[in-house]
Amino acid sequence: MQLFLGDFHLKELENKNLLALWFSMLAFDLHRKRIHRKIRQWLEGEGIPEEKQRQLASIVWKRLQIEQELILWNKIHLLFHYWHVFHKPFAIIMYLIMLIHVAIAVWLGYTWIF
């Protein structure tokens, strides 16, 4: 796969922060035609028939896209993990405040008007 990617190293993307990863993926998409052309040239050099070249190029391209998306989803998963770690205590505190509020309202004699 690295033969086609040139400057793009998928394994290095795993170590980047989310913003740098997004810019790398944008650059990858901008160089899509060049990468696709390299795949086709490599397949032509192997003496593979035209129909098989199209099929193999499609498979290789899909694999590159899937690997890139997998790296992105792993980063997003990690980001949401940190989001939950940060927000879960606030949610627990919110529920405790709600229970205290309802308990005080019932204790003071407030009732539903419906």
Tens digit of pLDDT for each residue in 1-50?
A: 545 555 455 666 667 777 777 777 787 777 777 877 887 788 888 888 88
Confirm if 79 and 18 have CB atoms less than 8 A apart.
yes
Cα–Cα distance, 109 to 107 (Å, whole number): 5
Predicted local distance difference test score (pLDDT) of residue 96: 97
Nearest to 33 by CA among 45, 41, 43: 41
Mean pLDDT, to the nearest integer, of 60-87? 86
Predicted local distance difference test score (pLDDT) of residue 11: 63
Predicted local distance difference test score (pLDDT) of residue 99: 96
For residue 86, what pLDDT band results from cuts at 50, 70 and 90?
Answer: very high
Predicted local distance difference test score (pLDDT) of residue 94: 97
Predicted local distance difference test score (pLDDT) of residue 5: 53
DSSP 13: H
> Taking 60 as the threshold, does the pLDDT of residue 95 lie above it?
yes
Q: Where are the domains of the chain?
A: 2-85
pLDDT more than 70, % of the chain: 85
What amino acid occupies position 69?
Answer: E
Predicted local distance difference test score (pLDDT) of residue 9: 57
Q: Quick one: 64 exposed, middle or buried, by C-beta within 10 A (0-12, 13-18, 19+)?
A: buried
